[in-house]
Amino acid sequence: MQFLSSYGLNGNDFFRTAEQIALPPWTGLPELAHYRAITPGPHARMQILVTGSAGFIGFHLARRLLREGHLVTGIDSFVPYYDLRLKEARHALLEAEPGFRGLRLDLAAPGVVDAALQEAAPEIVVHLAAQAGVRYALEHPETYIASNIQATFNLLEGMRRRPARHLLIASTSSAFGASQAMPFRERDASATPLNIYSASKLATEHMAHAYAHLWNQPITAFRFFTVYGPWGRPDMAFFKFTAKILRGEPIDIYNHGRMERDFTYVDDIIEAIARLIPVVPEPGRTVGASDSLSPVAPYRLVNIGNGRPVQLLDFIAAIEAAAGKKAIRNMMPMQPGDVTRTWADTTLLQALTGFAPSTDVRDGVAAFVAWYREFYRA
C-alpha cells in the first residue's frame, strides 16, 4: 500500500467523507523516477485562489503551491460528474496541509464570487473549475453553459471589482477544433469547435480577452493537451482503460485505434502552470514571433503539452505493460465531435518559462497504474 500510505490513506478511507478522514501532515510522494521532488520556488509567499481544487489538476496544483509556502484558498462545487469520493479524498489531503482553506461554492451561482474574492483576497487566481469531457457534452450540453461560461463570466465580473496581479485560466486543446495544421500553435485560428465542450472553452478565452482589454486585468489562458496521471478523472480514457484491463473487461477503442494524442503527464502540467504564474502579460513585451500576446490587452494564450503525439494503441500498450495484462479490444467507429490527432507546439511555453514537458508515456502510465492499483486495491 505504498501510494496510499504515503498520502495517509488506506483502501477503506476511500469510502469515507473528507470530514471523517483523519490525515497526518503531507509526507511527500513515493520515491519513483516519474515523480519530481517539490522544492520551494523563487516566488515570495502569496495568497492564491485555485478554483476546481478538488479536481484532478486543481488538486495537484494546490498541493504544489502549498509546498512552495503559499497560502491557498481552494474553491470547488463538488459536482457529482464522477464519484465524489475521489474528490473528497483529494480535498481531505489538501485540508490537512497548513496554509490551505477550502470553500464549497458554485461559481455559477449569483453573488458567490464577490464573497469568495473578498474572503480570499487573492493576489493570484488560477481558474481550473470547469465541466470537462467531449462525450458527456453530447448528452448534457446545458451543463457546459453553466459550469464553463456562466461561472467564468461571474469570476471575470468579480475580478473587475477586485482585480488580481494575474489571472490564469484553463482551456483545452479541443478549442483548436477542426484545425488540420500540425503542430497546433497558439496563433492558429480557432473558429471551428466540434463540440459544446470546446465551444464553451473557446468562449471563455474570448471573454477573458475582452475583460483583459476593457479592465486591464492581466490574463494568461492555457490549453491543456490530454492530461493523465495519478488522481486522474475516472471519465477519461486512460482511467477507464486501466480499470477494465485490470478487471479483464473489454475496452472500447474509437476510430479502430487510428488516433494520436499529445499525452501530457500531470506533473509537467503543474510545473508549467507554476512557472507561468510570475510571467504576467504586458502589452508590447513579446518573446518572439511565436508569442500570442494580444496587441490590445494584457492577455496571452499558451499551449501546455508534451509536444510529441503518441499513437493511441501505443498508449494502450503502455497500460498493458504496467498492468501485466493484455486488453480485450473492442474496435469502434469514430465518435461525433472528436478529432483524430492532437499535437502541441510548445515553443512559446519554453520561451516564457524555460521549461518543456518531457515525461515519457511509459513512465507516466506506470505511475498512474501503480497509484490505481493501490488506491482501488486492484
Once rounded to an integer, what is the mean pLDDT over residues 278-292? 95
Average pLDDT over residues 298-304: 98
pLDDT computed for residue 43 by the predictor: 54
What torsion, rounded to 10 degrees, do the Cα atoms 280, 283, 287, 288 define? 150
Helix (H) or strand (E) holding 168: strand 166-172
Give the model's pLDDT for residue 115: 95
Is the per-residue pLDDT at 20 higher than 50? no
Q: What pLDDT is recorded for position 335?
A: 85
Q: What pLDDT is recorded for position 182?
A: 82
pLDDT one-digit tens code per residue, 132-145 = 887 888 889 999 99
With bands split at pLDDT 50, 70 and 90, how would you rate the model's confidence at 68?
very high
* End-to-end CA separation in angstroms for the chain: 11
The DSSP code sequence of 76-143 is E---TTS-HHHHHHHHHHHHTSTTEEEEE--TTSTTHHHHHHHHH--SEEEE------HHHHHH-HHH
For residue range 36-46, list pLDDT tens digits in order.
333 444 557 99
213 exposure class (CB count in 10 Å sphere: 0-12, 13-18, 19+): middle
Mean pLDDT, rounded, for 154-179:
94
171-180, 233-242, 330-339 — most confident range: 233-242
| 2-231+265-307+345-359 is a CATH 3.40.50.720 domain | yes
Whether the link from the prior residue into 278 is cis, omega within 30° of 0, is: no
Residue-wise pLDDT tens digits, 116-165: 999 999 999 999 999 988 788 888 999 999 999 999 999 999 999 999 99
Q: How far apart are CA 359 and CA 275, in angstroms?
A: 17
Q: Which residues of 347-374 are buried (b: 16+ CB within 10 A; e: fewer)?
A: bbbbebbebebebebbbbbbbbbbbbbb
Q: For the chain, give the mean pLDDT.
A: 88
SS (H, E, C) 292-359: CCCCCCCEEEEEECCCCCEEHHHHHHHHHHHHCCCCEEEECCCCCCCCCECCECCHHHHHHHCCCCCC
What is the predicted pLDDT for the residue at 11? 36
Average the pLDDT over 303-329 and give the result.
97
> What percent of the chain has pLDDT above 70?
89
Is the pLDDT at 26 greater than 70? The verdict is: no
Q: State the number of CA atoms in the 13 A half-sphere of 57 facing the CB.
A: 31
Residue 376 in this model has a pLDDT that exceeds 50: yes
Cell readout for 179 is 484545425
Name the band, by pLDDT with cuts 50, 70 and 90, for residue 336: confident
Residue extents of the structural domains in the chain: 2-231+265-307+345-359
pLDDT value for 30: 33
Whether 347 has a pLDDT exceeding 50, the answer reads: yes
How far are the Cα atoms of 30, 86, 90, 166 from residue 243, in angstroms, in the given order?
22, 15, 19, 39
| Per-residue pLDDT at 368 | 98
* 308, amino acid identity: R
Q: Which string of b and e fits 89-111 if b means at least 16 CB within 10 Å? A: bbbbbbbbbebbebbebbbbeee
- Amino acid sitting at position 325: K
pLDDT value at position 190?
Answer: 75
- Residue 253, pLDDT score: 96
**In this predicted structure, what is the pLDDT of residue 189?**
75
Q: CA torsion 324→330→336→338, rounded to 10°?
A: 30
pLDDT band at residue 345 using 50, 70 and 90 as cut-offs: very high
Residues 6+ apart with CB under 8 A from 343: 182, 183, 184, 260, 262, 305, 307, 308, 309
* Of residues 195 and 78, more confidently modeled: 78
Lowest mean pLDDT among 238-252, 262-276, 328-342: 328-342
Q: What is the pLDDT of residues 86-125, one digit of tens each?
A: 999 999 999 999 999 999 999 999 999 999 999 999 999 9
Q: How confident is the model at residue 199 (pLDDT cuts 50, 70, 90)?
A: very high
Region at 216 (left for phi over 0; alpha for psi -120 to 50; beta for the rest): left
Active site residues: 197
59 in Cβ contact with 86 (< 8 Å): no
Cα–Cα distance measured from residue 368 to residue 182, given in angstroms and rounded to the nearest whole number: 28
Instruction: Point out which residues pair with 365 in neighbouring strands.
Output: none
Is residue 215's pLDDT more than 60? Answer: yes
